C-alpha cells in the first residue's frame, strides 16, 4: 500500500476535481432554467428545487450507503458515487425537460453522495489522532473545488452553451472514477465487535449532541445565504463585486485556517476540545454581531474573512469527534448520518433564512445568525458538563 500521505493527497485531488465539476453548473442553474419555462411560479419552484433536490437525496440515502460501505468496503462506495455523478451529469447534459432535470438532480444526491464514503475511506487509512486534519483537508478540497468550478463554469458559459458545462463535468467525474478504481488500494471492511453489533455507536451519549451542535452551526452559517446579496446591496449600496469578494473571503478564511486548527486540536481530550470550541462559537457570535451592526463595507469584508477563519475550527473538528464516538466497523454508517445531518441543516438554514428575511426584513438577518450560534453555544456547554468518552 502506498504511504498514507500519498493516499490522502489522492483523496484530496479526486474530491477537488469531482466537487469542482459539480459546482461548474452551480451558480448558473437559474439562468438555464429561465429558458425552459415561461411560468414565473414554476421557475421560482424549480430554482429552489434544483439546489434542494441533491441535498434531499443525500439526506435520505447517506446512512444506507454508509452501512453498505461498512459491510463491503468504502472504496466500492466511492466508485459507486463517482459513477453516479458521471451518469447524472451526462443525463443533465442530454435532457432539456425541466422536470427531468429536477428528477436527475434528486437522483444525483440519492445515488452519488461522494463525500461521506470518501471520509470513511480516509478514516480507515489514517491514524485516529489525525482525523481532524483529515476532515479539514477533505473539506478544503471541497471548498477549493467549489470556487474553481464556478469560475471554470462561467468561462465555459461565456463561450459555449450550458450543455458543455454538464458534459465537461461528466467527463471529469468519469476520469475521477477511473483514478479512484485504479490507484486507491482496497481496504477490507472492519469486522464488527460485540459492542458494534449491538448498536454501540448509538449507546455513546456524546454522539447525538455532537450531531445536534454540528447541525446548528451549519444552519447558522447558511441563514444569510438567500438574502446575502440583497442585504449587501441594500446596506452598503455596493456592487456585485463586493458580494463576490465577501463570499470568496469567507471560503478563503476557511481554506487558510482549517489545517492549522486541526493541528491545534490534535491530541486533545474531548472535554478540552469542547472547551476550546466554546470560545470559537463565542467568536462567531461576536463577528456576526459586528457584521449585522456595521455600516462600513471594509469592516464587513474583514468580518467575513475572520468568520471564515473561525469556521475552519468547527465542522472538521466536530466531524473528528463524531467519528471517534463510533466503532471502526460503523464509520460509514455514522459518517453517513453526519452527512445527512449536514444536508438537513443546510436545507433548514437556507429555507429559514429566506422565510425570516421575508417576514422580518433584511435588517435582522445577522440577529438570527447570532441567535442560532447562541443555541449552539448552549448545546455545547450542556455537552461539556456531561461525561464525554468518544
pLDDT digits (tens, 9 = 90+) for 198-235: 444 434 567 888 999 999 999 999 998 877 878 888 88
pLDDT exceeds cutoff 60 at 273: yes
Percent of the chain with pLDDT over 70: 94
- Which listed CATH number (1.10.287.4070, 3.30.465.10, 3.40.50.150, 1.20.1250.20) goes with 201-384? 1.20.1250.20
What are the residue boundaries of the structural domains of the chain, listed by start? 4-185, 201-384
pLDDT at residue 240 in the model: 67
Three-state SS for 176? helix
What torsion do the CA atoms of 167, 168, 170, 176 make, to the nearest 10 degrees?
A: 170
Model confidence over 174-201: pLDDT tens digits? 999 999 999 999 888 877 655 444 444 4
Task: Give the model's confidence band at 292: pLDDT under 50 very low, under 70 low, under 90 confident, else very high.
Answer: very high
Does the pLDDT of residue 333 top 90, yes or no? no
Same fold flag, 4-185 and 201-384: yes
Compute the CA torsion angle 66, 68, 72, 75 (nearest 10 deg). Answer: -40
- Identify which of 202-211, 283-292, 354-363 has the greatest average pLDDT: 283-292
Please provide the average confidence, as pLDDT, over all residues in the chain: 87
Over range 276-290, report the average pLDDT.
96
* CATH class label, 4-185: mainly alpha
**Would you call 314 helix, strand, or coil by DSSP?**
coil
Say what the pLDDT of residue 199 is.
44
Q: What is the pTM of this model?
A: 0.82
Examine the pLDDT at 25 and tell me if it is beyond 60. yes
Rounded Cα–Cα distance for residues 149 and 169 (Å):
9
DSSP string, 21-63: HHHTTGGGHHHHHHTT-S-HHHHHHHHHHHHHHHHHHHHHHHH
Amino acid at each position: 500500500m502506498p504511504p498514507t500521505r500519498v493516499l490522502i493527497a489522492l483523496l484530496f485531488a479526486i474530491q477537488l476535481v469531482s466537487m469542482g465539476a459539480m459546482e461548474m453548473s452551480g451558480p448558473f442553474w437559474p439562468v438555464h432554467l429561465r429558458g425552459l419555462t415561461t411560468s414565473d411560479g414554476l421557475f421560482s419552484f424549480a430554482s429552489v428545487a434544483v439546489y434542494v433536490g441533491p441535498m434531499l437525496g443525500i439526506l435520505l440515502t447517506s446512512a444506507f450507503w454508509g452501512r453498505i460501505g461498512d459491510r463491503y468496503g468504502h472504496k466500492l462506495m466511492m466508485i459507486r458515487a463517482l459513477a453516479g455523478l458521471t451518469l447524472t451529469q451526462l443525463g443533465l447534459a442530454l435532457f432539456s425537460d425541466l422536470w427531468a432535470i429536477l428528477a436527475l438532480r434528486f437522483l444525483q444526491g440519492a445515488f452519488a453522495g461522494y463525500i461521506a464514503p470518501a471520509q470513511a475511506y480516509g478514516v480507515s487509512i489514517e491514524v485516529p489522532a489525525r482525523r481532524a486534519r483529515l476532515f479539514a483537508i477533505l473539506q478544503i478540497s471541497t471548498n477549493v473545488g467549489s470556487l474553481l468550478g464556478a469560475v471554470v463554469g462561467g468561462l465555459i458559459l461565456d463561450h459555449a452553451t450550458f450543455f458543455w458545462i454538464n458534459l465537461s463535468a461528466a467527463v471529469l467525474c468519469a476520469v475521477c472514477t477511473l483514478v479512484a478504481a485504479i490507484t486507491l488500494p482496497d481496504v477490507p471492511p472492519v469486522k464488527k465487535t460485540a459492542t458494534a453489533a449491538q448498536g454501540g455507536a448509538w449507546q455513546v451519549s456524546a454522539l447525538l449532541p455532537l450531531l445536534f451542535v454540528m447541525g446548528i452551526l451549519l444552519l447558522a452559517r447558511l441563514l444569510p445565504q438567500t438574502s446575502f446579496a440583497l442585504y449587501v446591496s441594500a446596506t452598503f449600496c455596493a456592487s456585485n463585486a463586493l458580494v463576490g469578494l465577501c463570499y470568496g473571503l469567507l471560503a478563503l478564511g476557511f481554506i487558510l485556517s482549517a489545517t492549522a486548527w486541526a493541528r491545534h486540536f490534535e491530541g486533545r481530550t474531548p472535554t478540552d476540545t469542547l472547551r476550546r470550541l466554546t470560545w470559537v462559537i463565542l467568536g462567531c457570535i461576536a463577528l456576526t454581531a459586528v457584521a449585522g451592526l456595521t455600516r462600513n463595507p471594509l469592516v464587513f469584508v474583514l468580518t467575513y474573512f475572520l468568520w471564515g477563519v473561525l469556521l475552519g475550527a468547527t465542522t472538521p473538528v466536530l466531524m473528528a469527534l463524531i467519528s471517534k464516538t463510533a466503532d471502526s466497523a460503523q464509520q460509514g454508517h455514522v459518517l453517513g448520518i453526519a452527512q445527512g445531518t449536514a444536508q438537513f441543516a443546510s436545507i433548514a438554514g437556507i429555507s429559514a433564512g429566506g422565510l425570516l428575511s421575508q417576514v422580518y426584513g433584511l435588517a435582522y438577518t445577522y440577529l438570527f445568525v447570532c441567535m442560532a450560534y447562541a443555541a449552539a453555544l448552549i448545546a455545547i456547554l450542556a455537552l461539556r458538563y456531561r461525561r464525554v468518552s468518544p
